[in-house]
Structure 1
């Protein structure tokens, strides 16, 4: 058996076939990790030495912003069914039943070392036409710059496919991370890292869905 793959999806190499790496069944975990400025400042305050160092670190921690990123997945099935898995509206999904995609946690601060994790059950991959992974700022000021957000997809046997959310433009509050879609009968991962700066008007999910022509209908939700 070949060694597990270690692939970074980049602008110059944005597509990878899951089948060619033997990832055709089992679970694949999608991990979102980032560093909240507020969490980073709190850690610095705990590590600060000396009176003036602690004072400076405390001031920085007080000024640092907290940010709540939400990971989600828009799903288009081969039979035309469409749905979304996300914390908003408590649409956490399910792994062993439809939609065979589930979000296992909602990290509201960026302080959780495990970040947020979404699981896709590839035992039912024949039912997937498109899976659009996305992330947006649910609460908090600013944009994605300085958050060092990284998304890693990991198979049961340890294959990893990494996407760095880089080159964020000013005011961007959402990102289409990657599109997992069926191509010639197999699933491929395509790096997107497409940034969105929605203002007042349609919700960010609607903006992303329209951009990818997914034809999904949205209603307001809370978490």
Structure 2
């Protein structure tokens, strides 16, 4: 396997006309985003922004998976609309780049790393960076390492690309919305004029993270909550020969990731208002139903962790009045129990609400079962409560929360 090509800021390289992945690695938390742009350098609509709150483009050809310090964008280059000229990749943080440290970028085709770039943090005080772009040139796709900085966060960065941001974005971000881009590389020439605001619905950049100190949130009563989707995602650990650089963060992370993968499974225990209790999980092929009781369905089972969307549970929010409680759990089906290394995160998506997430990083290595959260019907509202307790298995978890199921061993 050939060594990946290393790019410096301003340099470019050809891309295969195929499915590619772009991986962004950092030592600290960053919010990654991708923007599909026309020849004017603006999005066509808010469906062209892909980030933690909208993990897929409107046509599904660009998707995001990842975590605070390790994000992936999966891009189907042949499927991009004809009027999309480039796909810009960026990140933002509450800290400056100098505080975050160096950021590494990889371009992959399957498990093979084609290109690598390193963004040096030395002397960089911006809180948002346009990292790179995939762009069309004479019928082919190319990749350019940019490293252009912004003063501000995700809101001014997104507005620069023409995304309309909801007014209820936190005040700190609102205060930054007049910042202009800073050209830190002479090789990059980006338009710094304020972008036109499209007429499409605004994007909400808010995100709720449930922690020990903020362990619950209540979503007020509605007649129809729509389709509620719960996502389990985790770092895949591909066992590949990357030929990566042997020094610095990038090399260290490759060493960490050359381990065998783990198979995380998401499941739910559902209690209906009529007293019926149902178990939903891939083990035993108990996938549930969205249109009939228990109104909860497991979409698919990711045996590798390599699916761009991870695993999903859906709840029929039109039938929320029929549901007493949905209890969400995950377990390590294959692989050594080590929750910190899986870097697992569960995100609850409710239409017209900010994403709600909780992280699965506190569990003891000997406890492969995690009780994550419960969604409780409180007089028609949804009360989301973080649990994050770890157990040796299903039966111990069941006993702790008094569900009363009868358990036996099974396999997928």
Find the aligned partners of 1:163 and 1:148 in 2 and give their Cα distance. Answer: 11
1:146-187 alpha-carbon deviations (Å, 9 max, x no partner): 111000001233531111112222322110000111234422
Q: Name which of 204, 207, 213 aligns with 2:402.
A: 213
Separation in 1 of the partners of 2:364 and 2:255? 29
In 1: Cα distance, 2:407 partner to 2:366 partner: 23
C-alpha contact 2:340 2:360 (8 A) present in aligned 1: no
Aligned with residue 165 of structure 1, among 346, 352, 360:
360
Aligned to 2:294: 99
- Single out whichever of 103-112 and 179-188 deviates more from structure 2: 179-188
Shift of 1:143: 2.4
1:175-215 CA-partner distances (Å, limit 9, x unpaired): 0000111234422000011111x2xxxxx222211110112
Which residue number corresponds to residue 173 of structure 2? none
Q: Which runs of 5+ in 1 are unaligned?
A: 199-203
Q: Does 1:26 align with 2:244?
A: no
Q: What does the per-residue CA deviation read over 1:107-139, in whole Å, with 9 as the maximum and x for residues that have no partner?
A: 111122210011011111112111110000111
Indicate the residue corresponding to 1:110 in structure 2: 305
Q: Structure 1's 35 and 77: CA in aligned 2 closer, same or farther, altered over 3 A?
A: same
CA 59–104 in structure 1, closer or farther in 2 if over 3 Å, else same? closer
Secondary structure of 2:340's counterpart equals coil
Aligned counterpart for 1:8 among listed residues 190, 200, 209:
209
Cα shift readout 1:14-39 (whole Å, capped 9, x = no counterpart): 1111227x6952111100000133x2
- 1:42-53 aligned at under 5 Å gives the runs 42=240, 45-46=241-242, 48=244
Name the larger-Rg structure: 2
1:104 to 1:86, Cα distance in 2 relative to 1, 3 A: same
SS across alignment from 1:35? coil
1:130 aligns with 2:130: no
Is there any run of 5+ residues in structure 2 with no aligned partner, and where? 1-165, 169-203
Contact 1:128 1:182 in 2 (8 A): yes
Contact 2:320 2:380 in 1 (8 A): no
CA distance in 1, matches of 2:335, 2:263: 6
What is the alpha-carbon distance in structure 2 between the residues aligned to residue 9 and residue 210 of structure 1? Answer: 24
Are 2:283 and 1:88 equivalent residues in the alignment?
yes
Q: Secondary structure at the match of 2:213?
A: coil
Please give the alpha-carbon distance, in whole angstroms, between the structure 2 residues aligned to 1:140 and 1:117.
Answer: 20
Superposed CA offset, 1:27-57 (max 9, x none): 11100000133x2x43xx346269xxx9xx6
SS at match of 1:88: coil
Distance 1:167 1:220, change over 3 A: closer
CA distance in 2, matches of 1:157, 1:60: 36
TM score, norm. by length of structure 1:
0.82
Give the 3-state SS of the residue equivalent to 1:135 in structure 2: strand
Q: Contact 1:179/1:191 (CA < 8 Å) preserved in 2?
A: yes
| Distance of 2:354 and 2:317 partners within structure 1 | 14
Q: RCO (CA 8 Å, sep 6+): is it higher in 1 or 2?
A: 1
Higher helix share: 1
Separation in 1, partners of 2:382, 2:289: 20
Give the stretch that moved more between structures: 26-35 or 105-114. Answer: 105-114
